[in-house]
Structure 1
Amino acid sequence: MGSQSKPVQQLTPFGHALAGALGGVFSNAVVYPLDTVKTRIQATSSDESRRKGKSAQSTSITSLLLQILKQEGVAGFYKGFGASMLNTFSMQYAYFFFYSFVRSTYIKRTTKAGKKPEALSTAVELILGAVAGALAQIFTIPVSVIATRQQIGRSVAVKKSNSLPSIPTPRSQDQPSPSEQVTLPSVTQVEQSVEESHVERTTDDSFLAVAREIIQEDGVTGLWLGIHSSLVLTVNPAITYGVFERVKSIFTLGDPTVKMGPWRAFLVGALSKTLATIVTYPYIMAKVRVQAHGSKLESSEKGSTTAAPKYNGALDVLRKVYKSGGIIGWYQGMSAQILKAVLAQAFLFMTKEQFEQYALIIMVAWGRLRNASPA
């Protein structure tokens, strides 16, 4: 029994990172339509919903899924899929790599020679997870910003009126009186309207096009929108893995060689992620709002724009949401977030050991190829 667990234990930080990344991509791909729905709900404020005549029911998970299917087809569920999977792979790879590296380094430094390493406390696990998450976020957040913009649909974010100027029609064939003179749009106005309509219908939603748009709006630093809230949210995986390890130790009676089984791991992973999501959700919502809206300016009731961005950071989002909707506004879309996050995390935990085996096979095959290649 002990010999069977050695290959997994012998995985290097790169191996653990690869296993985590593969598992993360798989679990997030399975629930991606839910990811699109929860992002759109989080990116839309209650004020915007009221202006568009949407009720709370119209922003529910089921109604939004049906709305996307009706208006955009199945492809609407997978907007930004490539960027999101790239973000998931890079984020999971970076997180698992840094977590394994930081954890193993800490254990080596705190373990005296010739003695067995002691089990890490929950506090230490949380701190190590937060450090790993912070390092991973710094390197991977640009892809996350681009994926968020693609998911909410740039047709929603940048769409303006793309119809031609209306031409009033006299009520009769008689010559209109001076008071009823019809003002026809000029040729220039018509041509300009047609040109704007064509540009918006042919908007490029590709990865590079969205990246260029973000840089034009906010500069290069725009690719790191929401970095502050993302760093705060590093406690989310830390809480998740901390709770998972604690609950796992209860089921296994503290014996690391005992396997829980996939379904028990699924349930423990779901419980862990639910708790972490509830604790950190307001900042999750704030990060999505900042990344989705960028430097778009607020419009006054008269149609003019102020010089201030719509949201000036996560704390500004929380302040404005609280002012308009109270604490309940901080949890808008939480049900979609929990459903998506719990399913993805549970699938990840359930398949973690399997993907560790795949990672080990890949690393062994890669090592053989390198050894067999001519010098």
Structure 2
Amino acid sequence: MSDNVAHALSGAGGGIISMALTYPLITIGTRLQVQRNSSDATAYTGNMDALRKILAHEGLSGLFSGLESAIFGAAVTNGVYYYFFEAVKAAFERASRHKNMTTVESMVSGAVAGAMTCIITNPIWVVNTRLTVKQKKLKQRAEEQAAGETEESPSTLAAFAEIIKEDGILSLWQGLIPALILVINPIIQYTVFEQLKNRVERLRRLGSLDFFVLGAISKLCATTVTYPYILVKSRMQLKQSKNENERYSSLVDGLRKVIANEGIAGLYKGIESKLLQSVLTASLLFMSKEALFSYTVKLLILIGARKSLAAAK
């Protein structure tokens, strides 16, 4: 068994760890992204207001609504991404004379891996987005009832079945086009990182802290540039409204309607929590994935799914 599987498994483990630790930021960011009416009494005016209202009306569990599908999605997403990235990377290394990939080869590997990940995992994130938003609606409905009975949030499998029953199986791929366009996010991140790294290396030798800071800066740049697409993707993954102004037929239509109804600022709702979550997730994923890789290889050798280096020689 090749290292692709070890990278996929360690990536899945890293994805679970980073997702679990940063999920409250995802909840806040997602709810702000899909919020269209800011004048309603229950609307969130910002990140801190969202945090306060979620804790007040839903408790701590409200910050983790949809966590089950998110954990599963993070594991599959990172597993698929690292598997295809390493597979394409290995193909480039076999075809070329140099051991390390060029910038273009790395960008192509990231694009292929990102595209495959989007296609395979989009249904998971459609369900997760709807579960994250639905928890708020259920709490509001319970507060309006005289009996005060709380309707339980559906499980991930129940949500899958409900979406297919009401909207058809193709609705699980709502927002796929924006998701595919967002493959440019890691490409931008990699390009910025390499350019900054090359500049700093001319001055001095890089250390661990330098890599962390450069990685954070490059991720900030990538997320800032692509955030409007992230917002439209989140809204397209929701059950589409009958209101013409709130129904997006395409990515361009979504961008146009957001600007027309909410202004340019509407394209960046919730960006603060998203930026913080993206940087933390990227750093936690990288650190935990690297730490888990060697253990994953040892486990695969132990169960006989992979040959040891000595045996391979």
TM interval, shorter chain, is 0.7 to 0.9
1:25 counterpart residue number: 16
Determine if the alignment matches structure 1 residue 202 to structure 2 residue 184.
no
* Stretch of structure 1 that moved more, 132-141 or 237-246: 237-246
| C-alpha RMSD over aligned residues | 3.0
Determine if the alignment matches structure 1 residue 41 to structure 2 residue 35.
no
Identity of aligned residues (%): 32
1:93 counterpart residue number: 79
2:99 counterpart residue number: 117
2:180 counterpart residue number: 231
Q: TM-score, normalising length from structure 2?
A: 0.86
Q: Which stretches in structure 1 are left out of the alignment for 5+ residues?
A: 1-9, 165-193, 299-305
**Superposed displacement of residue 212, structure 1:** 1.9
Q: Cα–Cα, structure 1 residues 265 and 30, in superposed 2: closer, same or farther, change >3 Å?
A: farther
Q: Which stretches in structure 2 are left out of the alignment for 5+ residues?
A: 309-313
Determine if the alignment matches structure 1 residue 128 to structure 2 residue 109.
yes
| Deviation by residue 1:57-114 (Cα, 9 ceiling, x = unmatched) | x4321121111111111111111111001001100010111111112112322x1xxx
1:289 counterpart residue number: 235
What amino acid is the match of 1:42?
Q
2:311 counterpart residue number: none
Looking at structure 2, the residues matched to 271 and 352 of structure 1 have their Cα atoms a distance apart, in angstroms, of 20
Q: How does 1:352-371 map to 2 (within 5 A)?
A: 352-367=289-304
Q: Check conservation: 2:301, 2:307, Cα contact below 8 A.
A: no
1:278 counterpart residue number: 224
1:215 counterpart residue number: 164
Q: Check conservation: 1:38, 1:333, Cα contact below 8 A.
A: yes
| Deviation by residue 1:125-180 (Cα, 9 ceiling, x = unmatched) | 2222111100111111111111111111245279669547xxxxxxxxxxxxxxxx
Q: How does 1:48-197 map to 2 (within 5 A)?
A: 48-50=37-39, 52-53=40-41, 58-109=44-95, 111=96, 115-117=97-99, 119-121=101-103, 123-156=104-137, 163=145
What amino acid is the match of 1:151?
T
Structure with greater Cα Rg? 1
Looking at structure 2, the residues matched to 349 and 247 of structure 1 have their Cα atoms a distance apart, in angstroms, of 19
Q: Check conservation: 2:92, 2:101, Cα contact below 8 A.
A: no
Q: Check conservation: 2:300, 2:306, Cα contact below 8 A.
A: no
* Stretch of structure 1 that moved more, 267-276 or 338-347: 267-276
3-state secondary structure, aligned to 2:237: helix
Q: How does 1:255-270 map to 2 (within 5 A)?
A: 260-261=207-208, 263-270=209-216
Q: Cα–Cα, structure 1 residues 244 and 366, in superposed 2: closer, same or farther, change >3 Å?
A: farther
Structure with more of its chain in helix, by fraction: 2
Q: Cα–Cα, structure 1 residues 141 and 103, in superposed 2: closer, same or farther, change >3 Å?
A: same
Q: How does 1:337-356 map to 2 (within 5 A)?
A: 337-356=274-293
Looking at structure 1, the residues matched to 34 and 10 of structure 2 have their Cα atoms a distance apart, in angstroms, of 31
Q: Check conservation: 2:62, 2:135, Cα contact below 8 A.
A: no
Give the aligned length: 305
**Superposed displacement of residue 22, structure 1:** 1.3
Looking at structure 2, the residues matched to 363 and 237 of structure 1 have their Cα atoms a distance apart, in angstroms, of 29
Q: Cα–Cα, structure 1 residues 259 and 105, in superposed 2: closer, same or farther, change >3 Å?
A: farther
Looking at structure 2, the residues matched to 53 and 72 of structure 1 have their Cα atoms a distance apart, in angstroms, of 16
Looking at structure 1, the residues matched to 106 and 304 of structure 2 have their Cα atoms a distance apart, in angstroms, of 32
Q: TM-score, normalising length from structure 1?
A: 0.73
| Deviation by residue 1:242-298 (Cα, 9 ceiling, x = unmatched) | 444555566678xxxx9943x444322211211110111110000001112x23311
| Deviation by residue 1:1-54 (Cα, 9 ceiling, x = unmatched) | xxxxxxxxx961111112222112211211111111001000111xx122x146
Looking at structure 2, the residues matched to 203 and 312 of structure 1 have their Cα atoms a distance apart, in angstroms, of 31
Q: How does 1:5-24 map to 2 (within 5 A)?
A: 12-24=3-15
Q: Cα–Cα, structure 1 residues 205 and 19, in superposed 2: closer, same or farther, change >3 Å?
A: same
